[in-house]
Amino acid sequence: MDYCVGRTQLSGWSLFLSGIPRFTDIMKLFVYHTPEQTPAINTADCSIVIDVLRATTTMVTALSVGAEAVQVFIDLDTLMEVSEHWDPAKRIRAGERGGSKVEGFDFGNSPLDCTAEGMAGKRLFVSTTNGTRAFQRVQDSPTVLGAALINRHEVVKYLVETKPETIWVVGAGWEGTYALEDTVCAGAIAHLLMDKLGLSVSDIAGNDETIAAISLYKTWQNNLLELLNNASHGQRLLQLNCQEDMAYCATLDAVNCLPIQREKSVLVARV
């Protein structure tokens, strides 16, 4: 936390001394591997939540085919209570635990279930093992985005347009532990951002995790599906016969949609 504040102050000084704002002065990216590792008091200008397998991939897909919004919950009972006040014809309840659909819910967490026919005009009320917890951790941020490999280019487009000074990239992880697929996506975002703005690793990296994420992406950028298949949560999903989901989740820059928080825990497609 102090490290983050220190970096921001340094940026301010270099800005003051040079008088000329440069991207290197104003944009720093901090990767946190899990919600638990993410500082509790949010000082980011923009927080980006990643759960490649599969929560954010599903959210991006749902919004891209016309869902009205995605509302995230940590707790299944609260989801049920809140969605009870919604027109049943305009709601879908999605619940996932341990990779499987929770009994009594309309959907689990497969992005491939998100068809235009089923989603258009409806609100997706969703609770997943890790992804929705990550959103709650950063919900006080002035901007909260949902990122996956499938919409990496939309995330970067937004960052290039809006130039937030301090960016937190939060991986959902798995029950408090590191997840390879979220880190490679963080690296993919940083890598494209560096390319678009002509920045170096040291320009953009706010912490060592960011440098490691960029290296991971560079190593695996042409074999993302293989990496996902090797990851521990990938292995878990393969055992649940989610091969098609995995192939879809590994597809880079395939979907033109950016989930953005409109109010606490409610995400809509950025227009």
**Which residues of this chain interact with ligand 3SL, rule CB under 6 A?**
51, 53-55, 96, 99, 109, 128-131, 172, 237
| Residue 182, SS3 per DSSP | helix
Q: Pick from 40, 86, 83, 48: which is nearest to 162 by CA?
A: 48
- Please, which residue, 12 or 176, has the CB nearer to ligand 3SL? 176
Amino acid at 146: G
Tokens matching residue 130:
């890790």
Choose between 204 and 267: whose C-beta lies nearer to ligand 3SL: 267
Q: Which is nearer to ligand 3SL, 114 or 193 (CB)?
A: 114
Instruction: Report which of 207, 62, 202 is spatially closest to residue 128, judged by C-alpha positions.
Output: 62
- Nearer residue to ligand 3SL within complex by CB, 78 or 219: 78
Q: How far is the CB of 246 from ligand 3SL (least distance, A)?
A: 10
The residue count for the chain:
271
Q: What is the largest CA-CA distance in the chain?
A: 60
d(C-alpha 122, C-alpha 119), whole Å: 5
Minimum CB distance to ligand 3SL, residue 104 (Å): 17
Residue 99 Cβ vs ligand 3SL, minimum distance, rounded to whole Å: 3
HEC profile of 202-263: HHHECCHHHHHHHHHHHHHCCCHHHHHHHCHHHHHHHHCCCHHHHHHHCCCCCCCCCEEEEE
Report in angstroms how near the CB of residue 14 gets to ligand 3SL at its nearest.
Answer: 39
53 versus 67: smaller Cβ distance to ligand 3SL: 53
For the bound state, the minimum distance from the C-beta of residue 118 to ligand 3SL, rounded and expressed in Å, comes to 18
